[in-house]
Amino acid sequence: MSIENDIKDNLITAMKAKDKISLDVLRGLKAVIMNYKIEKGIEELTDTDAIKLIKSEVKKRKDSIESYTEGKRDDLVQKEKKELEILQRYLPEQISEEELKIIIKNKISEMGEVTQKDFGKLMPVLIKETGGKADNAQISKLLKEMLS
């Protein structure tokens, strides 16, 4: 079953359970998916595209949490954290930092002699290699550390 179908099924379940937070998040996610499909002129969304869209929504929630924390709005922080939890259910299980370091080291050794200038070449390769199982910001941070 595709991620898109999981979202639709869970939306129906949330409606029946009258789970307002899940309902709001899933409706928003469904709208994002629908807009993407219209924009791209496609009928069916691939899981890869769905993961990209969900990651975008996750990033928005994380940014909001950071902003609300700075503004001392604990009520909104809690709401955003709940929404983040719901969205993360649809993402593949994330790999550990140690596993990510191993992947980065392997790619660096495959490419031979690399410097800080090769960052732009390595990032897309590593993003593809991890297949959505690692946060791009984390990949970037670890890669910068290893290249310096």
**Do 52 and 14 fall into the same domain?**
yes
Q: Residue 115's domain is classified under what CATH number?
A: 1.10.10.410
**Which range (2-16, 79-93, 112-126) has the least confidence?**
112-126
Query: Residue 11 belongs to what domain range?
Result: 3-88
Q: What whole-number distance in Å separates Cα of residue 24 and Cα of residue 33?
A: 14
**Do 54 and 124 fall into the same domain?**
no
Q: What whole-number distance in Å separates Cα of residue 85 and Cα of residue 10?
A: 14
Q: What percent of the chain has pLDDT over 90?
A: 52
**Do 101 and 84 fall into the same domain?**
no
Q: Domains in the chain: how many in total?
A: 2
**Do 58 and 12 fall into the same domain?**
yes
Of 88, 118, 134, the residue that ends a domain is 88
At residue 75, the pLDDT reads 93
**Do 33 and 79 fall into the same domain?**
yes
Nearest-CA neighbor of 1 among 51, 35, 47, 52? 47
**Do 107 and 83 fall into the same domain?**
no
**Do 80 and 17 fall into the same domain?**
yes
For the segment 8-58, what is each residue's pLDDT rounded down to a tens digit?
Answer: 999 999 999 999 999 999 999 999 999 999 999 999 888 889 988 999 999
**Do 140 and 79 fall into the same domain?**
no
Q: What whole-number distance in Å separates Cα of residue 125 and Cα of residue 136?
A: 11
Q: What is the dihedral of CA 53, 45, 133, 127, to 10 degrees?
A: -80
At residue 116, the pLDDT reads 82
**Do 24 and 81 fall into the same domain?**
yes
Nearest-CA neighbor of 14 among 29, 34, 2, 33? 29
**Do 13 and 69 fall into the same domain?**
yes
Q: What whole-number distance in Å separates Cα of residue 24 and Cα of residue 27?
A: 5
**Do 7 and 72 fall into the same domain?**
yes
Mean pLDDT of 124-141: 84
Q: Residue 37's domain is classified under what CATH number?
A: 1.10.1510.10
Evaluate whether 54 touches 87 at the Cβ level (below 8 Å).
yes
Q: What is the pTM of this model?
A: 0.77
